[in-house]
Amino acid sequence: MSKKIIVIGVLLAFNLMLVINGCTKNTTVSINNTPEITTTVSFSKDLVPLFTKNCATSGCHSGTVAPNLSALTAYDALLSASLVNVGTPASSELYLWLTGKRAVAMPAGSTNNPSNINPLVLAWIKQGAKNN
């Protein structure tokens, strides 16, 4: 009877090792708890200042790295590079890059992007990505 207990114990331990080794993290699911912005978002008044301060900096999106998010070129750069999808705003490349779903969240090297940029960009895209 003790051999039976040993065999059962070994089989249980083996199965437990298989289960533990099979438990690895492959993906991260992020939950967006940011309240949705329902007021009109102005590209020139709301987004350009954020892009200028956080993105269009030396060595980044000021002409060195595409898209050029400098005040005079940001709108055309975003739309000509197909980074905005008004049909499915949350799958827009711009939004995916900002939220870290394409690589590190932008702006790169920063501990976090400005807390209001993601919901503002998403609201702007949902509102038709107007050059306003």
Mean pLDDT by 10 residues, the chain (132 residues): 71 57 46 74 95 87 91 96 96 91 75 74 96 96
Whether omega before 49 lies within 30 degrees of 0, making that bond cis, reads no
Burial class (CB in 10 A: 0-12, 13-18, 19+), 16: exposed
In this predicted model, what pLDDT tens digit does every residue of 40-67 receive, in sequence order?
Answer: 999 999 999 999 988 888 888 988 889 9
The pLDDT of residue 85: 97
Q: Are 49 and 99 in contact (CB under 8 A)?
A: no
The pLDDT of residue 27: 45
Model confidence, pTM: 0.71
